[in-house]
Amino acid sequence: RALELDLREAMAKDEFSLFYQPLYDLNLDRICGFEALLRWHHPKRGLVPPDQFIPIAEEIGLICPLGEWVLNRACEQAVTWPSEMKLAVNVSAVQFRDPDFIDVVVNALAASKLSPRRLELEITESVFLANSNETLATLHKLKAQGLRIALDDFGTGYSSLSYLRSFPFDKLKIDKSFVRDATATHGSKSIVRAVISLGKSLGMTTIAEGIETVEQLNHMRAEGCNEAQGFLFSHPVPVTEIAAKILELR
């Protein structure tokens, strides 16, 4: 049976859940929030990774209802956390371009009563493949709600420095491929240094993804990166482990 058919039924069958990975503040030296990461528990195949089903969901028009479910569920859960914990939610480029997207975000915030200041939407450079006037208008409307926008996987996509000048990002997420090599290769080290410096001068926060070793952590801290995320702190965990993670990483 094709994955696509199962995916169409998965929402009604309640087969999705959200895992959460801690975000760590390198200046305060403690946990500062979580990124929501979607999981599909397939009855026969087991856990299907998002890399496998999100592209299909985008193709078959399921990403908008699915993304709406993610936003609603994540906001509902985050409002129960200590108020200094922020929530990062991934948004697909297809979802971002949907004319109803702003309303979906506004409704999720209103229904959950989560303060917009606690919400960070992660978009990727692929949103810029489409009409840039519309993209810019959507970003401004979202920011007018009081939430923050992070550019995910920064450096791996269709990056253009002109985007950074024209679009109101609050945060750059330095892709794990650069982080992984930053302690080994000169090229990646230079790129990481340049991105952090660029972020600083443009007033954007920087976060290093995929921190797996103490060496990588120390390196990013020394480079002046603001936040970090990765298996060194924690793998993504189910919602039942949130409270323990907050205690462990505070």
Tell the smallest beta-carbon distance from residue 90 to Na ion (Å).
8
When asked if residue 157 is in the footprint of ligand G (CB under 6 A), the reply is: no
Q: Which does 227 bind (CB under 5 to 8 A by kind): Mn ion, ligand G, Na ion, none?
A: none
Tell the smallest beta-carbon distance from residue 229 to Na ion (Å).
9
- Number of residues interacting with Mn ion: please give it, by CB under 5 A: 3
Shortest Cβ contact with ligand G: which residue? 230
Tell the smallest beta-carbon distance from residue 194 to ligand G (Å).
20
Q: Pick the closest to residue 145 from 107, 97, 198, 197 (CA basis).
A: 107
Which CA distances in Å does 142 have to 18, 40, 100, 135, 250? 23, 28, 12, 11, 30
User: CA angle, corner 157, sides to 231 and 215, nearest 5?
Assistant: 30
Among positive and negative, which fits the CA dihedral 8, 11, 17, 20? positive
When asked if residue 125 is in the footprint of Na ion (CB under 5 A), the reply is: no
> Per-residue x/- mask for Mn ion, residues 113 to 152, rule CB under 5 A?
---------x-----------------------------x
Judged by beta carbon, residue 6 or residue 85, the one nearer Mn ion is: 85
228 contacts: CB under 8 Å, gap ≥ 6: 23, 24, 26, 207, 208, 211, 217, 220, 221
15: amino acid identity, one letter: E
When asked if residue 90 is in the footprint of Mn ion (CB under 5 A), the reply is: yes
Which residues partner with 17 through β-bridges?
39
> Per-residue x/- mask for ligand G, residues 74 to 113, rule CB under 6 A?
----------------xxx---------------------
Judged by beta carbon, residue 50 or residue 166, the one nearer ligand G is: 50
38 contacts: CB under 8 Å, gap ≥ 6: 16, 17, 18, 19, 50, 54, 66, 70, 90
- Please tell me what DSSP assigns to residue 49: P
- Please tell me what DSSP assigns to residue 37: E
Judged by beta carbon, residue 6 or residue 122, the one nearer Na ion is: 122
Q: Pick the closest to residue 198 from 182, 26, 190 (CA basis).
A: 190
When asked if residue 216 is in the footprint of Mn ion (CB under 5 A), the reply is: no
10 contacts: CB under 8 Å, gap ≥ 6: 16, 40, 42
Among 152, 171, 172, 227, binds Na ion (CB under 5 A): 152
When asked if residue 230 is in the footprint of ligand G (CB under 6 A), the reply is: yes
Among 176, 205, 208, 227, binds ligand G (CB under 6 A): 176
When asked if residue 35 is in the footprint of Na ion (CB under 5 A), the reply is: no
Binding site for ligand G (CB under 6 A): 21, 37-38, 49-51, 54, 67, 70, 90-92, 122, 152-153, 176, 209-212, 230-231, 236
